[in-house]
Amino acid sequence: MSRRTTTLRAALLAATTLALAGLTSGVARAAGTLVWGMPAETDILDPHATGGWSTYQVTYQIFEGLVKEDLTKADVPTPPLVPALATSWEISPDGTVYTFKLRPGVKFHDGTPFDAAAVKFNFERFWDESSPNFYKKAKAFVIAYTKWIKSVEVVDPMTVRVTLKAPNYQWLRIGLQSYGQPLMISPTAVKKYGNGGIALHPIGTGPFRFVERDQGVKTVLERNPDYWGRPAKLDRIIFRPLQDPATRVNALENGEIQMMSTPPWDEIQRLVGEGFKLSTNANVPYINFLHLNFKNDAMKDIRVRKAINMAIDREGIAHDIYHGTGRAEYGMLSPGTDAYDPTFKSYSYDPEGAKKLLAEAGHAHDLKLVFELPQYGTGELVETWIQRDLKKVGIDVQLKKYEWITYMGKWAGGMPASVAFNTIGWGMSTPAWIDIVSRCDSAPPGGVNSGWYCNKEVDKLLDAAILERDPVKMKAIYQKANRLIMDDAAFVPTVDDLQPMLLSPKVKGFVNPPEDWFDLSTVSVE
Amino acid sequence: MGKFLVHRLLGVLPVMFGVSVIIFLLMHLAPGDVTTVLLGPQATEAAKTELRHALGLDQPLPLQYGRWLWRTLHGDFGVSIATQLHVAALVLPRFVNTMLLTVASLFLAIVIGYGAGLFAALRTRSIFDRGTMVVTLLAGSTPPFWLGLILVLLFAIRLRWLPVSGMTDMAGDGGALDVLRHLVLPAVTTALGPAAIITRMVRSSLREALERPHVRVARAKGLSRGVLLRRHVILNALPPIVTITGLQLGYLIGGALLTEVVFAWPGLGSLLYDSITARDMPAVQATTLLIALAFVLVNILVDFINVLLDPRLRDA
Amino acid sequence: MDVPSDRVGVDGAAVAPPGEPRRPLSQRYWRLFAFLRDRTAVLAAVVLLAAALGAVFAPWLSAHDPYEADNLLRFAPPGTPGHLLGTDQQGRDMVARLLWGGRVSLLVGVVPTVLASIIGLALGMLAGYARGLLDQFVMRVLDVLLAFPMVLLAIAIAGVLTPGVTTEILAITVVLVPYVGRLARTATLGVVTMPYIEAARAAGGSSPVILARYVLPNVLSPIVVYATTLMGLMIVVGAGLSFLGLGVQPPVADWGTMVADGRVVLRRAPHVTVLPGVVILIVSLAFNFLGDGLRDALDPRTARR
């Protein structure tokens, strides 16, 4: 989901503790403490029953799956899949049977040993409706991963076999991108605290373990001294929701936080000048784009859709608004995927050409379009820019801005004919993400193909893509689908966000990988 | 007097009932579905339907409301949909934080408002009077999110005297002094608006009281200024001042949302906003009811004080 | 909502215990004269008139389109050739933005206040005049409204209608009604016990006639005064709603939204946020002084010495 998701919630502290904590207690000033100012409070910390990037930014530190994305490398096109709680896995020749060898000697933060029984328990929780351990809410979240599963068997205490209903070579990656993530939670903790209780007692195997959470104020993690891998450098991480960008900037300058996400674009230059470090990544797996509405009369005409694509000065937006922390995007494959082609161009900026197309379509001056957008709190710099660009080619755009949840409902529900286009920032590190927004059968209410785009040829290619085991061929198929989608001018990809992070000069070892969340075990604070 | 109180306190119940019903209806009127919030864009319709069922959202509205009311009357405010915390555990700490900020702000507002208002009234149309009015109006007309930012820039960034955000130092040693340091800027920011209103109120009602015939007579008789003020002016001028102070208190308890956002002060205002935007019905209901209760009780207290001051108002 | 104004109380004249009967409405000329003698109030009226005219005639007064951006001229400081007050974060002319912004800000300041005053006045007079059960009922309903989160109201209204100025106006109106209502009731209570009302009743005057002819003129003055004060404050309230994405739609900006959007770049280009802030201050001050002037003119008890 969009990184600007404004979900704010979840906590631990009982009624009076908060006031008491403020007045009496105190945390000793730890040497290696990183305080991270985030634009939104994270969701509950049960990885099976939650979603959203800001939440993954916390849960990635606490929980691990059988496989994980290696987020310690910045200069790769996509994070490599590496062994985590499974030391190795084998995929059967027909692509349906996955056999995982589990990592020996791993313990959950509560001391529970990690073994095949624990894996089985977790799959039962988010997948197996017949099991007493089944948790409905978890299934609803992990659905993109679990809908492929046919069976899960324990082969021996250190081996688990998962059989899929059909081959899907993006399945492992989907598991790490699906809205809920199939990470391993301590079975003891689930039994002790109940399914709902995991939200408040997140117990995994990761390099950091949960200490406390104060709803709307902070979430505190500390180093897991018994971690199976390379231990984390930091003693503590404190995640702080600071909604107001100006507050985040001030807190960074004042040393109250050492790291901030989504800095205001116009402040980056000044802060860098004052010695703060800017970190970006060119391959973050998400793109900003417009869904064009195929139910809207004007938008049914491909000339209008192409004209809109040609009328928007993406390079200008990237340069003047993002100040170099954005990059013009011309396709619908997100940069952080294997299939991304940085040289791909669909429609270059060509306002004159756009005008011609519009005139051909009979809309020389009179076109009025409605553009729906969510309240981001960034002053709608990009959206008003798009509005102005379209005005230059004779299209009058009316912006309709909605509070976030209202917008989510409208976007996921699909646009009515009266709306011409809407916008979202989304993506995954699997190119299979493109299915979600562009397939015929992803049309609402079953999916979030908000503009009702449908091209059977594209669907056929997407069907073939997940069956392709060879990464090179897979890449070619996705690129062909992308070409078809852009030939249809079904969407308007706009500008990629390079995930700017501002860091205090005291922060060392931070890696900004091609992903929307980070591995903080490599970070230290002087 | 006792009858007055009993009568007013009985009035609290229908008000609370009315508030809860309307909040309930408004939450249903608000677009956006809690299942979309909870399950995200990839959730299947079946999963959404199931969740709606699990949350009891597929039942007829009156039944949903009835269930909520029944539980609430039994002291069970339910579990917050978004945070999975017990609503009481979610709301009470926020209430404590809000009270801390409220009391501090009100204290400042009263000191500034009563002091400046009194002097302005005694020196009507003097430079001081006009100056006070302009300054308080200026402070009161400044958008608080903006004023807060200016104060932060000056006292936290430039001078480094005070912290930028939060209630405590995240990695610091905590303690009451720490909270106090964090309290200063938000308290001043929230106090200035109410202070401006109170100043105007104090000034204008004192001026009016000073103009009354009996005060003029007393003045003509040569009563000293202090005695005159104490005996004849302040007492007469108090009811509207108390009323306005009470309204300010009510406002502050309601939570100064934007100030809370700017200072990352975890109070009721931002909790209410978060709960509304997450369509978290149990949390919204509990928060609103708490705010409403506080508001109504403050109003009763204000009316009670006014009756004490002027018994003629009793049946008004 | 963080708007002192949404919980603001009543102004001095408002809740003050009713004194001697006020002058009948016929002495309008004296009042006008008194008002015109109050230089501050006249100046305030002139300022507001200028702001209103600026908003109405914005297209003719500004050389630039408020939505047209010059990307080479972002954050141009005041005094830049062609842009008297500089440009904003998108390179849009500040003079044009301020003039056009006044359209929404003044609308949001005036319309909800007037609407709420009419509704509140009617409810308050009814409650204060009828007393008894009706009074109790109306006052408890107002109590319910008083405890209302404006954000929720705005989201719900925006859901039924569509977000924008209408939503904003409706939400603010509903929130203001109980304040005016309380005030109107208090003022009515003070009037209905006056001998001349008794006399009118004894003379066989019907309730509507008494309300319209004797009560209304005496209650109107504090309401008018209060309303003018509220107008200034509502401009800031509107900013709060826009800040949360519930108010005006971009690229239209009212003054409050300009302040809110610009505050992020306060360090880099202070004028982007300070200028609209100053405009809000001046207009609020003007509304307040106008209110004071009207009070002094309308209410002989506080007439100048």
**B48, B145, B164 member nearest A256 (Cβ):** B164
Task: Kindly report the nearest CA distance between residue B99 and chain A, in angstroms.
Answer: 11
The residues with which A496 forms a beta bridge, in sequence order, are A327
Cα–Cα dist B197/A387, whole Å? 42
CB B174 within 8 A of CB A25: yes
The answer to whether the Cβ–Cβ distance between A406 and C74 falls below 8 Å is no
Q: Which residues of A touch C71 (CB under 8 A)?
A: 316, 320
Task: Give the CATH fold of the B93-268 domain.
Answer: MetI-like fold (1.10.3720)
pLDDT confidence tier of residue A493, bands split at 50, 70 and 90? very high
Q: Which CATH class is domain C30-304?
A: mainly alpha
Mind giving me the DSSP string for A29-82?
Answer: --TTEEEEEESS----S-GGG---HHHHHHHHHH---SEEE--S-SSSSSPPEE
Residue A335 preceded by cis peptide, ω within 30: no
Region A479-502: mean pLDDT is 95
Rg (CA), chain B: 24
User: Among candidates A449, A407, A497, which has minimal Cα distance to B42?
Assistant: A449
Torsion, CA A316, CA A320, CA A322, CA A323, rounded to 10: 120
Q: In whole numbers, what is the pLDDT of chain B averaged over residues? A: 81
ipTM: 0.85
- What's the sign of the alpha-carbon dihedral C175, C180, C183, C188? negative
Specify the pLDDT at position A40: 84
Q: Which residues of C touch A398 (CB under 8 A)?
A: 249
Question: What are B125-175's pLDDT values in tens digits?
Answer: 778 887 887 787 777 777 777 788 888 989 988 888 999 888 888 766 667
Q: In whole numbers, what is the pLDDT of chain A averaged over residues? A: 89
Tell how far CA C92 is from the center of its chain: 28
The answer to whether the Cβ–Cβ distance between A402 and C268 falls below 8 Å is no
What are the φ/ψ torsions at residue C299 (nearest 5 degrees)? -115, 105
Closest chain A residue by Cα to residue C66:
A388
* Amino acid letter for position A223: R
The answer to whether the Cβ–Cβ distance between A406 and C158 falls below 8 Å is yes
The answer to whether the Cβ–Cβ distance between A403 and C245 falls below 8 Å is yes
Whether A401 contacts chain B with CB within 8 A: no
Q: Report the neighbours of A using a cutoff of 3 or more CB pairs below 8 angstroms.
A: B, C
Question: What are C190-225's pLDDT values in tens digits?
Answer: 777 777 788 888 888 888 888 888 888 877 877 877
User: Among candidates B283, B271, B199, B276, which has minimal Cα distance to B241?
Assistant: B199
Taking the domains of chain C in order of start, what are their residue ranges? 30-304
Residue B31 preceded by cis peptide, ω within 30: no
Cα–Cα dist C260/A10, whole Å? 28
Question: What are A90-148's pLDDT values in tens digits?
Answer: 999 999 999 999 999 999 999 999 999 999 999 999 999 999 999 988 888 888 899 99
Specify the pLDDT at position B174: 65
Q: Which residues of C touch B316 (CB under 8 A)?
A: 186, 189
**A270, A377, A404 member nearest C267 (Cβ):** A270
The answer to whether the Cβ–Cβ distance between B97 and A18 falls below 8 Å is yes
The Cα diameter of chain C in Å comes to 77
* Amino acid letter for position B288: T
Q: Which residues of B touch A140 (CB under 8 A)?
A: 39, 43-44, 47-48, 50-51
The answer to whether the Cβ–Cβ distance between B41 and A242 falls below 8 Å is no
Q: Which residues of A touch C152 (CB under 8 A)?
A: none
Whether C6 contacts chain A with CB within 8 A: no
∠ CA(B107), CA(B133), CA(C108), 5° rounding?
Answer: 90
Cα–Cα dist C225/C213, whole Å? 20
Q: Is the pLDDT of residue A213 over 60?
A: yes
Whether A137 contacts chain B with CB within 8 A: yes
- Residue numbers of B between 93 and 122 with CB closer than 8 Å to A: 93-94, 96-97, 100
Whether C213 contacts chain A with CB within 8 A: no
Q: Which residue reads 């009357």 in tokens?
A: B73
The two structure tokens encoding residue A167 = 């081959």
Task: Give the residue from A244, A253, A437 with the most B CB atoms within 10 Å of its CB, the best one to mutate.
Answer: A244
The residues with which B177 forms a beta bridge, in sequence order, are none
The answer to whether the Cβ–Cβ distance between B141 and C233 falls below 8 Å is yes
Q: Is the pLDDT of residue C245 over 70?
A: no
pLDDT confidence tier of residue A48, bands split at 50, 70 and 90? very high
CB contacts < 8 A, A to C, total: 73
